[in-house]
Amino acid sequence: MTAVLSVRDMVVAYDDFVALDQVSVDVAQGESFGIVGESGSGKSTLLRAIAGLASFEEGSLSVAGRSYKGKKRDKSFYRDVQMVFQDPYGSLHPRQTVDALLLEPLVIHGMDNREHRISRALDEVGLGAGFRFRYSHQLSGGQRQRIAIARALIVEPKILLLDEPTSALDASIQAEILNLLETARKKRKLTFVMVSHDLGVISHMCERLAVMKSGKVVEMLAAKALETREFSADYTHKLLVASEGFRRN
């Protein structure tokens, strides 16, 4: 497996608390990779450390053949790697229109054909041109998350980091957003790294997953193993039992 993203022996600590303890993960080009665990397991910290939102004290990070340390990231990183957060309202500037929100990353990265890119991005997430000049408070939760996804996709990244992208949404809207993401992944040949506490979501979206507990990876397995119960860690079994309504479609 040729890894487009590689984490080796990563350590993130806050004073005396070790949030990530020697974590290693490899994700292949075009793969959809899941990270699961209970609250406080370190899964979101891992995603934030990859994104440069949290600094890591030890270990290494390689993305598309380039190495990174601590929180420092270059401009090419933010073109290749985009993140979609759990709370779309918190990640969208309340005083900017949708048009301004989508234009900003195009300006930052010096991308041309901006009108066309904005229209295409809105179409891709199932929203028309009528949404361009609305503010985020005028949108529903699902619409806000669609805008957050459009904003991430508009710079044509290679990797999407997804931090519980549907957990704040109603169940019916969750399915729409997940289908939208999967369509975009296949169409654009994207690599996904998705954090979720919901094993059903991870099983539906991902091919492989890491199970985390107390800042460590306790098991790495294929998503199909959740259905067949072919896992070794007792903690994975407990997570599966706790994940209500688990189904693989």
Cβ–Cβ < 8 Å for 223, 202: yes
Q: CA-CA distance, 143 to 140, in Å (whole number)?
A: 5
At residue 205, does pLDDT exceed 80?
yes
pLDDT of 150-184, one tens digit each? Answer: 999 999 999 999 999 988 788 889 999 999 999 99
Given the DSSP bridges, would you call strands 81-84 and 17-28 parallel, antiparallel or unpaired? unpaired
Task: Report pLDDT for 33.
Answer: 97
The mean pLDDT value of the chain amounts to 91
Task: Report pLDDT for 233.
Answer: 86
Point out which residues pair with 157 in neighbouring strands: none
Task: Report pLDDT for 248.
Answer: 45
pLDDT of 35-66, one tens digit each? Answer: 999 889 999 999 999 999 999 999 999 999 99
How sure is the predictor about 242, in pLDDT bands with cuts at 50, 70 and 90?
Answer: confident
pLDDT of 109-164, one tens digit each? Answer: 999 999 999 999 999 999 988 999 999 889 998 999 999 999 999 999 999 999 99
At residue 22, does pLDDT exceed 80?
yes
Which top CATH class is 3-242? alpha beta
Higher pLDDT, 184 or 200: 184
Is the pTM higher than 0.75? The answer reads yes
How sure is the predictor about 244, in pLDDT bands with cuts at 50, 70 and 90?
Answer: low
At residue 225, does pLDDT exceed 70?
yes
pLDDT of 82-107, one tens digit each? Answer: 999 987 777 788 889 999 999 999 99
Q: At what angle do helices 141-153 and 98-108 cross, to 10 degrees?
A: 20
Cβ–Cβ < 8 Å for 97, 134: yes
3-state SS, residue 75 = helix
- Close Cβ partners of 66 (under 8 Å, ≥ 6 residues apart): 74, 76, 77
Domain ranges (residues) in the chain: 3-242
Instruction: Give the residue-averaged pLDDT of 231-242.
Output: 83
Question: φ, ψ for residue 35 (rounded to 5)?
Answer: -130, 120
Task: Report pLDDT for 246.
Answer: 45
